[in-house]
Amino acid sequence: MYELYKNAIVTGSARGIGKAIAMKLAKKGLNIVVSDIMYDEAKQTARELEDFGIKAIAIKTDVSKVEDVENLIRITVNELGSVDFLINNAGITRDNLTLRMSEQEWDIVIDINLKGTFLCSKFAAKEMMKNRFGRIVNIASVSGILGTAGQANYASSKAGVIALTKCFAREYGARNITVNAIAPGFILTEMTEQLSEKVKEGYLSQIPLKRVGTPDDIAEVVNFLISPSASYITGTVINVSGGLLI
Ligand code: NAP
């Protein structure tokens, strides 16, 4: 990790992949802002992270609300001094076939997954530009590349996240801010636990590595992308799916 840069925001990190990312980065010595819509769970995660001897703050944030995101960045700068790393992980699904998908199901997924990534990146980048350093990692999905049936809202939001990754990478590269995305495949978390055994087996049969992914599989790649080893990588999408997407 970098000697000078120590402060990371991980959105949606009260549980699941975000929590695994927060744990991994805390173990590496980074201070963590646990930003989540679920405040009690976020506070609990922050307490667990402090066991690694770092500073951890829980901030209640709905990433789709501009005032929440401005607040998130303001408190982070006030309490920790800077925003060096941003992991845009908060995301939801509201699956339905397009003919049955309501406008509300469409809007909420686009608002949280895509607009949320835009807002957090925009306000964090403002701070990163001042320091001429920043690392942003967006958690997209293989759905955004494959276009999965029953997930028009989700797949479109994640395709948008991949496009945003490239736009931000081009706009902020000159300020030493790298922006990359990870496209996870099927990862076992509370988001995917609700799926039927039949759907889970369907995914498994298509994964060449013959196992579902773990949140830690994603956290490892985030750890790499924000490390000095990846300082010449920007605008990429890393597919972490056990071969589900080849
Ligand atoms: P998860 O277990 O549902 O965790 C997501 C976290 O984000 C939850 O704590 C959730 O709170 C929070 N959140 C929801 N809406 C929010 C908002 N508006 N503002 C801030 N936080 C919010 O999901 P996960 O499986 O860890 O997924 C994490 C990311 O990976 C998502 O972007 C997801 O699309 C992506 N991903 C997951 C998989 C997979 O197989 N699991 C595959 C590909 C990509 P609530 O519980 O209140 O909603």
Evaluate: CB of 17 within 6 angstroms of ligand 1: yes
Question: pLDDT tens digit string along 22-69?
Answer: 999 999 999 999 999 999 999 999 999 999 999 999 999 999 999 999
**H-type helices in 138-189, by residue range?**
143-146, 152-172
Mean pLDDT of 8-20: 98
DSSP letter (8 states) at residue 42? H
Residue 90, φ and ψ in degrees, nearest 5: -55, 135
- Looking at residue 230, its amino acid is A
Burial state string for 92-119 with b = 16 or more CB within 10 A and e = fewer than 16: bbbbeeeeebeeebbebbbbbbbbbbbb
Given 154, 172, 203, 232, which residue is catalytic? 154
* pLDDT tens sequence across 170-212: 999 999 999 999 999 999 998 888 888 998 999 999 999 999 9
| Six-digit token string for 215 | 């949140």
Query: Minimal CA–CA distance to 5: which of 233, 226, 229, 174?
Result: 226
3-state class (DSSP) for residue 74? helix
- Cα angle 237, 238, 242 (rounded to 5 degrees) comes to 140
Ligand 1 within 6 A of 242 CB?
no
Per-residue pLDDT for 84 more than 90?
A: yes
Instruction: Give helix then strand counts, H and E, for the chain.
Output: 10, 7
Do the Cβ atoms of 80 and 7 come closer than 8 Å? yes
Would you say the CB of residue 154 lies under 6 angstroms from ligand 1?
no
